[in-house]
Structure 1
């Protein structure tokens, strides 16, 4: 049986999760990460995606996050999200609004680095839209 650890998912609006879990899958910028007890200390940025939380009783919850960062230590993980909602509460128009805002920002981007960052963010949002709100 897997060891448990403390996990908190915090957004500016509210604390979404705080408790003992057995596993958390987070959308780290460099790829999905599965965090478990005794994980090596790590700090990573978070891209738009889905966080899957497996609680000690076997129940799983999913949350949509729109960026942030995670601080992982052997006894816990704290994910500070720029914005987060339970996956069943996300609305297609919210993601569409973010995509449109990013496209408008891309049209006014001045440097190649800025364009690349916005294009990457747009790709992540588009992928997220396909996962959370299937056609």
Structure 2
């Protein structure tokens, strides 16, 4: 038996399937989940999530949320999610580079917070499309 994965967003159920392994972008770093993982609830950070089905890896950009792992069922409640297939690599790269410059040039607390959030979102999308070449 493998892991049963459900990714839910406020708009709709995003992805359902079985997997052998997942890597989640938690607020304290990346967390891997395999079959028979201990029950846990964790906060998700903005970042790339990897899902291994048999020998194929799928990547998703997750924009924060929560994950519940219990009895080989992983339920992910994400603020927003995007599949690597739905992200244009050139746009993702340009957006990431622009967000990086805006973060470096941000002045004031509000501008820095907004620029950091935009940077993390752009980095997640860019990481997801970049990871396709490595996987």
TM-score, with structure 1 as normaliser: 0.69
Kindly provide the CA deviation profile for residues 27-73 of structure 1, in whole angstroms up to 9, marking residues without a partner as x. Answer: 01111011111111111111111111111x32221111111110111
2:66 — aligned with what? Answer: 69
Q: CA deviation at 1:74?
A: 2.9
Q: CA deviation at 1:89?
A: 1.2
RMSD: 3.2
1:131 — aligned with what? Answer: 127
Which structure has more helix as a fraction of its residues? 2
Sort the Cα spacing of 1:30 and 1:88 in 2 relative to 1 into closer, same or farther, 3 A.
Answer: same
Aligned length: 122
**Which 5+ residue runs of structure 2 have no aligned equivalent?**
131-135
Provide the C-alpha distance between the structure 1 equivalents of 2:29 and 2:81, rounded to a whole number of angstroms.
Answer: 19
Q: CA deviation at 1:6?
A: 0.9
1:25 — aligned with what? Answer: 23
1:52 — aligned with what? Answer: 50
Q: Write out aligned runs for 1:101-120 (5 A).
A: none
1:6 maps to which of 4, 7, 24 = 4
Q: CA deviation at 1:122?
A: 5.0
**Which 5+ residue runs of structure 1 have no aligned equivalent?**
none
Q: CA deviation at 1:133?
A: 6.0
TM-score, with structure 2 as normaliser: 0.69
